[in-house]
């Protein structure tokens, strides 16, 4: 993710900068640039994003957008709607695959996000090679700044998703002998309770076996159930 | 999305309830239930989520989790990590397709989110048919409550994404006669400037034509460029 830079243009609320830092940490991005940010206390960032150092130690602040984008090879703007004669798309899932490849092959790309109130101006959007939106509810398309950053970075992260955390060791599954011991005790319980009034009870037995098979027991599950039913039969 | 209910169990900060309402509106969900929420002012919700009525008019508040889930056919818990002997998965994209089908075919399903500080307890997770996490940075897996809700609802929304908003009418593309007029004036400019010192300048002409072809001009683009270059030739 080294080839992908996030640029916030004139963010207004320092808490949103903190929430963007957190979204970047959640999704594995570290390169953030701020253009004309408001004065902010790094402690406020840390209150929203715990352990923000991977992003904060590399953060740079710029006096204008040209300075923030000077080394960028491809600039992507963000806007919730198309604009006349500007290239807008919102197929973000497909876009993410293409941008990921571009960042790897052609050098640094940047994602540009505008101020909270009005977003990027037409002039700022005109600097961009392309503009993306998110395919969300057209009746309610306005995302909070940090939520827009999160969804776009999440889509980029999902191009090569991280491996899942290790699971705790599962109990070994029951084998058919374990199931058969359980079914035998279950039969004894049915007989002992005189639950079946007529017929041989085969339909009931089949239903109970199907329920237990669907549950997918571990050896220990089967042992516990068998012991419980055996205790019930004894009473 | 009528078959999918969001349940917040003991949320602590009313601003997070507002941010969840906003995420639901962004992604097209309307059914929210709160279990033992803190006292909150609906105006605070509206300050975070403008026009929250589609969610707030249907919001219900419950004194315990059993009451909030009584009519639910399938309960999905959320946790950032696997727990011993509980069914956890984080292939959320595939899960979203399956849950969408289940909600359509089998009736109301619910997504259960725990309190901000510690998430769902093991007892609460044990009530769930399955537990999901998000495939994000394992070194920084803890999402803000509203961001977790947003990402999960976004994945569910993307199973049948909304159609993009209509684009403004594009200008008609240039035809080859438009391009040829432009290239003719460009040739005149090259001649007039005596830019080519040796050879016939064919390599330069081919490069300029390739640049212009890649840009994909509209009729108006071609007319403006042709007029501009013609003005330059005249000087």
3-state secondary structure of B106: helix
Q: How far apart are CA B72 and CA B107, in angstroms?
A: 8
Looking at residue B86, its pLDDT comes to 87
Phi-psi domain of A49 (left: phi exceeds 0; alpha: psi -120 through 50; beta: other): beta
Count CB-CB contacts under 10 A for residue A198: 5
A119 and A191 in a common domain: no
Q: What residues of chain A lie within 8 A of the CB of B84, using their CB?
A: 168
The residue whose two tokens read 């969804």 is A151
B108 and B38 in a common domain: yes
Instruction: Kindly determine whether residue B137 and residue A154, on different chains, have CB atoms separated by under 8 Å.
Output: no
A92 and A47 in a common domain: yes
A225 and A137 in a common domain: no
Q: Which tokens belong to B41?
A: 């002012």
Domain boundary among A157, A190, A220: A157
Beta carbons of A102 and A74 less than 8 angstroms apart? yes
Q: How far apart are CA A230 and CA A226, in angstroms?
A: 6
Count CB-CB contacts under 10 A for residue B119: 19
Q: What is the DSSP string of B125-160?
A: HHT-SEEE-----TTS----HHHHHHHHHHHHHTTS
Range of the domain at A134: 4-157
For residue B89, being part of any structural domain is answered with: yes
A223 and A185 in a common domain: yes
Q: How many domains are there within chain A?
A: 2
Strand partners, B33: B7, B60
Helix (H) or strand (E) holding A210: helix A202-215
Q: How far apart are CA A223 and CA A182, in angstroms?
A: 8
Q: How far apart are CA B22 and CA B14, in angstroms?
A: 13
A81 φ, ψ to 5°? Answer: -150, 160
A219 and A130 in a common domain: no
B105 and B10 in a common domain: yes
Q: How far apart are CA B136 and CA B47, in angstroms?
A: 29
Instruction: Kindly determine whether residue B51 and residue A164, on different chains, have CB atoms separated by under 8 Å.
Output: no
CB-facing half-sphere around the CA of A43: CA atoms within 13 A: 0
Least trusted range by pLDDT, from A149-163, A169-183, A190-204, B84-98: A190-204
Q: Which tokens belong to B229?
A: 């270059």
Q: Which tokens belong to B99?
A: 């849950």
CB-facing half-sphere around the CA of B114: CA atoms within 13 A: 20
Is the minimum CB–CB distance between B129 and chain A shorter than 8 Å?
no
Q: How far apart are CA B78 and CA B63, in angstroms?
A: 20
B124 and B24 in a common domain: yes
B213 and B104 in a common domain: no
Q: How far apart are CA A49 and CA B137, in angstroms?
A: 14
Calculate the dihedral angle through the C-alpha atoms of B137, B140, B146, B147, rounding to the nearest 10 degrees: -30
Looking at residue B28, its pLDDT comes to 96
Beta carbons of A112 and A124 less than 8 angstroms apart? yes
Q: Which tokens belong to A171?
A: 């109990």
Mean pLDDT of A94-99: 97
Instruction: Kindly determine whether residue B167 and residue A82, on different chains, have CB atoms separated by under 8 Å.
Output: yes
A77 and A25 in a common domain: yes
CATH number of A207's domain: 1.10.8
For residue B80, being part of any structural domain is answered with: yes
B183 and B134 in a common domain: no
For residue A169, being part of any structural domain is answered with: no
Domain boundary among B157, B192, B218: B157
Share of chain A above pLDDT 70, in %: 100
pLDDT bracket for residue A1 (50, 70, 90): confident
Is the minimum CB–CB distance between B138 and chain A shorter than 8 Å?
yes
Instruction: Kindly determine whether residue A140 and residue B218, on different chains, have CB atoms separated by under 8 Å.
Output: no
Count CB-CB contacts under 10 A for residue B46: 15
Q: What residues of chain B lie within 8 A of the CB of A147, using their CB?
A: 22-23, 26, 146-147, 150
Given a cut of 90, is residue A229 above it in pLDDT? yes
B148 and B53 in a common domain: yes
Instruction: Kindly determine whether residue B143 and residue A26, on different chains, have CB atoms separated by under 8 Å.
Output: yes
Strand partners, B7: B33, B112
For A106-208, where are the E strands, in sequence order?
A: 109-113, 130-132
Give the pLDDT of chain B (235 residues) as one tens digit per residue.
899 999 999 999 999 999 999 999 999 999 999 999 999 998 999 999 999 999 999 999 999 999 999 999 999 999 999 988 888 999 999 999 999 999 999 989 999 999 999 999 999 999 999 999 999 999 998 899 999 999 999 999 999 999 888 888 888 999 999 999 999 999 999 999 988 888 888 899 999 999 999 998 999 999 999 999 999 999 8
Cβ burial, residue B174 (10 Å; 0-12/13-18/19+): buried
Beta carbons of A20 and A55 less than 8 angstroms apart? no
Mean pLDDT of A82-100: 93
Chain B: nearest CA to A102, how far in angstroms? 17
Looking at residue B188, its pLDDT comes to 93
Mean pLDDT of A148-158: 98
């Amino acid at each position: 993710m080294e080839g992908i830079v996030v640029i916030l243009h004139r963010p207004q609320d320092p808490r949103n900068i903190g929430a963007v830092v957190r979204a970047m940490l959640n999704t594995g991005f570290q390169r953030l640039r701020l253009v004309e940010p408001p004065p902010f206390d790094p402690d406020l960032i840390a209150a929203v994003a715990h352990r923000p150092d991977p992003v904060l130690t590399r953060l740079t602040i710029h006096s204008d957008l040209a300075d923030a984008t000077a080394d960028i090879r491809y600039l992507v703007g963000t806007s919730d709607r198309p604009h006349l004669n500007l290239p807008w798309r919102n197929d973000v899932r497909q876009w993410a695959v293409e941008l990921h490849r571009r960042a790897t092959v052609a050098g640094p790309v940047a994602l540009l996000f505008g101020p909270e109130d009005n977003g990027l101006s037409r002039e700022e959007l005109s600097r961009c090679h392309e503009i993306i939106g998110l395919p969300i509810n057209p009746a309610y398309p306005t995302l909070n700044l940090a939520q827009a950053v999160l969804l776009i970075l999440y889509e980029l992260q999902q191009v090569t998703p991280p491996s899942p955390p290790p699971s705790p060791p599962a109990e070994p599954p029951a084998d058919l002998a374990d199931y058969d011991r359980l079914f035998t005790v279950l039969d004894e319980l049915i007989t002992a309770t005189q639950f079946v009034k007529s017929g041989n009870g085969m339909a009931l037995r089949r239903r109970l076996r199907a329920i237990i098979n669907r549950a997918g027991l571990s050896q220990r599950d089967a042992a516990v159930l068998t012991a419980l039913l055996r205790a019930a039969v004894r009473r």
